[in-house]
Structure 1
Amino acid sequence: MVSIATFTEMALAYEEAGEQPHFHKSSFRVRKKIFATLDSQENTVVLKLSNHEQSVFADLAPGIIKPVKGSWGEKGWTEIDLENVSLDILKYALTTSYCRVAPKTLAAKYATSKS
């Protein structure tokens, strides 16, 4: 289990990351682009991944990591259950999401690929 506080601390640790309200959720952004949202009532996060990355992470944790329902999921937005995901997988997925939306100069500091 990953707590809300732990997730928030992780998301804000990236360079230039900030937190803003997004409807009934918290969003985490880098230069105004959302890389994660947090629903503290549902204890879930949503990350921006490529379709390939989404598939890989969903295979690592079936039922815990899955595409968001509807067209957003088809665009790579991926839901993660904080109560059941491992910290290591979440850290890797979060870094992947940050690097997907961050400018190349910032993303390069975290050494994940954009496929």
Structure 2
Amino acid sequence: MAVDAARVREMALALPEASEAPHVDRRAFRTPRKIFATLGPSGLDLNLMFDPDLRDFYCEQVPDAFAPVPGGWGRMGATRCDLTLVDAATLASALQAAHRLAAPKAKSKPKRRTASESES
């Protein structure tokens, strides 16, 4: 049932454009745009950078493993995951959800004007 720190790192770094770097006393997993998760120094907890809706979803679905981070970060959506109580499939889903929120936004291509629009 538990997921160890090595498995968390493997799962997080398998996501597109994910990298790892130090972040205060934790290890941060990030996209080129921003951090999507941080692993605690003990390797027993992971903070996921969710929005409030995702925070509520995971906290309701698996309340033993997920809880809002105390304070302002939690109010914004940051969610603590107890790695001793979460299964790999649920954690993979949570990491993917946090990663999607942190992924670079796709640039929209400028709309090409047709000849008839140019003549207007």
Normalization by structure 2: what TM-score? Answer: 0.83
Structure 1 gaps, min length 5 = 106-115
- Give the structure 2 partner of residue 41 of structure 1: 42
* 8 A contact 1:47–1:77 mirrored in 2: yes
1:78 aligns with 2:74: no
Name the amino acid aligned to 1:46.
N
Greater mean deviation of Cα atoms: 5-14 or 31-40? 31-40
Residue aligned with 2:57, SS: helix
Give how far 1:42 is off. 5.5
Task: Name the larger-Rg structure.
Answer: 2
Matched residues in 2 for 1:58 and 1:27: separation? 22
Name the amino acid aligned to 2:102.
V
* 8 A contact 1:46–1:79 mirrored in 2: yes
Cα displacement string for residues 21-79 of structure 1 (whole angstroms, at most 9, x for unaligned residues): 00111000100510000014151000111111111100111131010000000000000
Over the residues paired in the alignment, what is the CA RMSD in angstroms?
1.2
Aligned pairs for 1:20-31 within 5 A:
20-31=21-32
Matched residues in 1 for 2:41 and 2:90: separation? 19
Matched residues in 2 for 1:34 and 1:76: separation? 13
Residue aligned with 1:96, SS: helix
Matched residues in 1 for 2:72 and 2:64: separation? 19
Same amino acid, percent of matched pairs = 36
The number of residue pairs the alignment matches comes to: 105
The runs of at least 4 consecutive aligned structure 1 residues that moved more than 6 Å come to: none
* 8 A contact 2:39–2:46 mirrored in 1: yes
Matched residues in 2 for 1:30 and 1:42: separation? 21
Larger strand fraction of residues: 1
